[in-house]
Amino acid sequence: MFVKILNSFVIVIASTLLGRELANKYVNRVNELSALQVALSRLETEFEHYASHLPEAMIRIGNSIGGTAGKLFYIAGQSLTEKSSTLSEVWNTSLDLMKPEWSLRQEDSKILRRFGDQLGNSDREGQIRFIRLTLAQLHDEEVKARAAREKYDKMYRSLGLLGGIALAIILL
């Protein structure tokens, strides 16, 4: 009997954790999208007011905002200082490196990749216009991500706990 109760506990805990993990994906995506927007706004300021060079601006932003978005900027900025490949190559490689670490979906990555293709390729006005466009796109995705989070966050959490309990009862 004792073993059975122990087993049930393990099942409930495991299933709750699984539910939380799935729910966290939705929470993290919202946070990452909003952090990316902060980073891009900072980049816009660097372009507009300081005319900073891209590698140093990226490293500075990466260091100050931290998190996965900060890491992306930091990695990209560092690789640019090596001057061995093109900007879009560096940006795409950095995105690939970050892929296992974040909860962004394919549509988010696509926006970021498009951003990398244009980065550093036009005059200041063009760059700022392009950052604003990317910011708007990321904002749209964030709105959608928030809606998804409202819907699925609680659902997966409850489903994890309740599913675990149901399974434990059946097995008892």
Contact set with another protein (CB under 8 A): 47, 51-55, 80, 83-84, 86-87, 119-124, 126-127
Element (H, E) at 43: helix 2-45
Write out the E strands in the chain.
none
**Which residues, other chains included, contact 120 with Cβ-Cβ below 8 Å and sequence gap of 6+?**
54, 87, 127
Is 8 or 41 the residue whose CB approaches another protein more closely? 41
Is 90 or 145 the residue whose CB approaches another protein more closely? 90
Is 15 or 79 the residue whose CB approaches another protein more closely? 79
Is 15 or 127 the residue whose CB approaches another protein more closely? 127
- Owner of token pair 């392009």: 130
Give the type of residue at 154: K
**Which residues, other chains included, contact 42 with Cβ-Cβ below 8 Å and sequence gap of 6+?**
61, 64, 65
Q: Helices 67-81 and 2-45, interaxial angle, to 10°?
A: 50
Is 55 or 62 the residue whose CB approaches another protein more closely? 55
Shortest approach of another protein to residue 53 CB, angstroms?
Answer: 4
Shortest approach of another protein to residue 126 CB, angstroms?
Answer: 7
Q: Are 74 and 63 in contact (CB under 8 A)?
A: yes
Shortest approach of another protein to residue 85 CB, angstroms?
Answer: 8
- Owner of token pair 């795409």: 92
Residue 102's alpha-carbon distances to 45, 157, 160, in angstroms, are 26, 20, 22
Shortest approach of another protein to residue 132 CB, angstroms?
Answer: 14
Shortest approach of another protein to residue 71 CB, angstroms?
Answer: 19
